Amino acid sequence: MTVLDDVRRGMIPAHIYNDEDIFRLERDRVFGRSWQFVAHESEIPSPGDYVVRRVLDDSFIVVRDEQGDVRVLFNMCLHRGMQVCRAEIGNASHFRCPYHGWSYRNDGRLVGLPFYRDAYGGESGFRRAGQTLLPAPSLDIYNGLIFVSLDADAPPLRDYLGDFAFYLDYYTRQSDAGIELRGPQRWRIKANWKIGAENFAGDMYHTPHTHTSVVEIGLFREPKAEKRKDGSTYWAGNGGGTTYKLPPGTFDERLRYVGYPDEMIARMKETWSAAQQKVIGENGFMISAASLFPNLSFVHNWPKVADSDDVLPFMSLRLWQPVSADETEVLSWFAVDKQAPEQFKLLSYKAYLMCFGSSGMFEQDDVENWVSMTSTAAGQMARRLRLNSRMGLLADDTTVTEALGSDEFAGPGTAYVGYAEHNQRALLHRWADYLEQPIAAADPVDIGARP
Amino acid sequence: MTARSGASLPFDDQRHLLAHRWLVDETYLLDAQNYAAWLELLAEDVRYLMPVRATTALGAGFDTAPGMAHFDEDKYSLSRRVARFATEHAWTEDPPSRLRHHLSNVRTFATDRADELLVDSAVLLFRSRGDVREPALVSYGRQDLLRSTSDGWLLALRSITVDESVLRIQNLAVFL
Ligand code: FES
Ligand SMILES: [Fe+2]
């Protein structure tokens, strides 16, 4: 497909951001195969706790069963296909289908069929034993992050993450206890899902312009948004992100600089590897936004939350859940270390609300751009335009600046200082690789039939 | 927190007339995005809260996402939001949205304090941007606490109950 070749050259056919045919392919080949984040274990701490989440059009119940195991069950009754759970959060020992009353234990097992003997003739007519709501074809967990894949042969999640796991720990494992995730705020934007994922993966270039207003009102200690060009971007495994360069100092001093209290810094030291500490302590880079292919993003920033010079860090996870070629549901969570002091949690939550999420001041300007890009990408003229996404590359494909050496950046993957679109290209490269490969039809399951 | 005492005030009660007028006047400020004037109507200890609504089973005992809100603001954070709109670089509102806050169902309750009134209202916000985009609607209820001060009646608490779990609006670069 020539579109994919263009994408690989860093010349992006503008219509890929609003194209029904491309979206159909993405639905099957990207979302039918990649690992998809559905929830964090902290959202369902006790037996029976559940949340209902989608992978595109497919609704899943993410539930902790009575044994304490996490199950992800396709939310479709085995009888006629009614949704067995229509709430989005709650606690239940059983799910009873509202249509004819079949009931399922919270591990998915079918336990009740009204008039089983009279209507079905019992086991000899309908094999009830061993029937369960369809489990997600693949399920895996990393740092409490629950992922599913619609591909039964998906590689283990850890392999899929690859070296991105190194960076994922900064967001989701600041102590042994891990994070608690709150939310999500959910809202729909008329923007293509890829735009947000690309932006969070590597777009440091937009910060000084798009977010001028947030700097002007004094929300940040850094007086100038141009500071961003001193930061680095990295791509590792199946994801990549951006960092800020911090003023000179030790590991402790730099974490204090972004507002972490000493007790949290002490736990980070116990939890993070030497290399993970070195990126901050010696190389001076602090993680900021990031994306894991295809549509999960992260953010870490440190605004002022009161009229003083003190800043306070917050973290957010967000999913760019596609609705259609030109619409995305954003699910945005607030994340904080479970062991953080209560006062820190409170202020970090405030910092999050001011900056990101449905009302966040950064998010407001981001989304305005993305909505506008998406609607403009729908027409015929967009089909004649290949956007230049080659920032950081010379005509002969060598890079404008050299990749950082291991003495300058201790993390895995490839990192560069300054503005470039290496990560956006890396993300779309993956996308092209997925779009190129057809998926095999999965084997259907007969419910209750005799073998 | 201040509690309502008794049934809603009669519609010809001076206190209801005062509260209703306050809300209507505020609506015009919000439609015009005259946020500097709006900020003056907020008490120093104002709390501006909009929980995230979630779909839960009947009898679950809760219908919001635990520990999460769309807005959970104090005067400082509201003042930063307002200050941002006053810069020349708040792109999401340049060009500005066309806004109309349709206010209805206003009822007022006395409290055990003479200087505080509790006011319920319903609002349908219409927001239009540009020429090709679909307009956005947000339907919500409010519970407001109005307090009489030497600067007049000020908003001390606004609790917003939005009627959707998934907002159909690109952002909340508006006040509700
Ligand atoms: S569809 Fe669920 S019981 Fe019939
Ligand atoms: Fe941004």
pLDDT tens readout for residues B107-122: 999 999 999 999 999 9
If one counts every other C-beta atom within 10 angstroms of the C-beta of residue B10, the result is 9
Return d(Cα A167, Cα A39) in angstroms, integer: 19
Average pLDDT over residues A348-365: 95
Contact across the interface for A190 and B60, Cβ inside 8 Å: no
Average pLDDT over residues B9-27: 98
Residues 133-162 of B with CB under 8 A from A: 133-134
Kindly compute the dihedral angle of the four CA atoms of residues A413, A414, A415, A421, in this order, to the nearest 10 degrees.
-120
pLDDT at position B153, please? 98
pLDDT exceeds cutoff 80 at A152: yes
Return d(Cα A77, Cα A59) in angstroms, integer: 12
pLDDT exceeds cutoff 90 at A326: yes
Q: Exposed/middle/buried for A1, CB within 10 Å: 0-12, 13-18, 19+? A: exposed
Q: Positive or negative, the Cα torsion across A58, A64, A65, A69?
A: positive
Place of tokens 């050496």: A405
Task: Extract the runs of DSSP E, i.e. beta strands, from A14-126.
Answer: 36-40, 49-55, 58-64, 70-74, 89-91, 94-96, 103-105, 110-112
Per-residue confidence at A220, pLDDT binned at 50, 70, 90? confident
pLDDT exceeds cutoff 70 at A225: no
pLDDT at position A308, please? 86
3-class state of residue A93 by DSSP = coil
Whole-number average pLDDT of chain A: 96
CA-nearest of A320, A3, A362, A25 to B171 is A362
pLDDT exceeds cutoff 80 at A224: no
pLDDT tens by residue, A18-56: 999 999 999 999 999 999 999 999 999 999 999 999 999
pLDDT exceeds cutoff 80 at A347: yes
Per-residue confidence at A451, pLDDT binned at 50, 70, 90? low
CA angle, residues A304, B44, B66, in degrees to nearest 5: 65
Q: Which of A306, A364, A375 sits opposite B132 (nearest CB)?
A: A375
User: Which two three-digit tokens encode residue A299?
Assistant: 């953010």
Mutation choice for ligand 1 from A61, A74, A76, A80, CB with most ligand atoms inside 8 A: A80
Q: Which amino acid would we find at residue A49?
A: D
In order, the DSSP letters of B141-167 are: EEEEEEEEETTEEEEEEEEEEES-SSB
pLDDT at position A223, please? 62
Mutate to test the interface with B, among A219, A328, A350, A359 (most CBs of B within 10 A): A359
In order, the DSSP letters of B82-145 are: HHHHHSTT-GGGSSPPEEEEEEEEEEEEEESSTTEEEEEEEEEEEEE-TTTSPPEEEEEEEEEE
Is the Cβ atom of A77 under 6 angstroms away from ligand 1? yes
Domain ranges of chain B: 3-162
Q: Which of A307, A333, A364 sits opposite B76 (nearest CB)?
A: A307
pLDDT exceeds cutoff 70 at A248: yes
3-class state of residue A46 by DSSP = coil
Q: Are A435 and A6 in contact (CB under 8 A)?
A: no
Average pLDDT over residues A157-164: 98
Residues of chain A within CATH 2.102.10.10 domain(s) are: 39-142
pLDDT exceeds cutoff 80 at A351: yes
Contact across the interface for B68 and A184, Cβ inside 8 Å: yes
Please tell me the residue having the least CA distance from ligand 1 atom 3: A100
What is the topology classification, in CATH, of domain A39-142? Rieske Iron-sulfur Protein (2.102.10)
Please tell me the residue having the least CA distance from ligand 1 atom 4: A100
Q: Measured between CB atoms, does A214 come within 8 Å of chain B? A: yes
Place of tokens 């005030």: B9
Residues of chain A within CATH 3.90.380.10 domain(s) are: 162-435
Q: Which of B69, B76, B92 sits opposite A364 (nearest CB)?
A: B92
pLDDT exceeds cutoff 90 at A226: no
Predicted-complex ipTM score: 0.96
What is the topology classification, in CATH, of domain B3-162? Nuclear Transport Factor 2; Chain: A, (3.10.450)
Return d(Cα A286, Cα A303) in angstroms, integer: 14
CA-nearest of B175, B108, B114 to B143 is B108
Q: Are A157 and A296 in contact (CB under 8 A)?
A: no
Return d(Cα A417, Cα A405) in angstroms, integer: 11
Pairing assessment for the beta strands A58-64 and A70-74 based on DSSP bridges:
antiparallel
Provide the b/e sequence for A97-106 (b: ≥16 CB within 10 Å). Answer: beeeebbbbb
Residues 276-315 of A with CB under 8 A from B: 305-307
Average pLDDT over residues A161-183: 98
Distance of CA A411 to the CA centre of its chain: 21
pLDDT tens by residue, A364-397: 999 999 999 999 999 999 999 999 999 999 999 9
Is the Cβ atom of A97 under 6 angstroms away from ligand 1? yes
Return d(Cα B37, Cα B31) in angstroms, integer: 12
pLDDT at position A306, please? 87
CATH number for A162-435: choose from 3.40.50.80, 3.30.43.10, 3.90.380.10, 2.30.110.10.
3.90.380.10
Q: Exposed/middle/buried for A420, CB within 10 Å: 0-12, 13-18, 19+? A: buried
pLDDT exceeds cutoff 80 at A330: yes
How are the residues of chain A apportioned to helix, strand and coil, as percentages rounded to the nearest 5? 35, 25, 40
Place of tokens 């009754």: A77
Phi first, then psi, for residue A332 (nearest 5°) are -125, 120
3-class state of residue A110 by DSSP = strand
CA-nearest of A41, A347, A355, A314 to A174 is A314
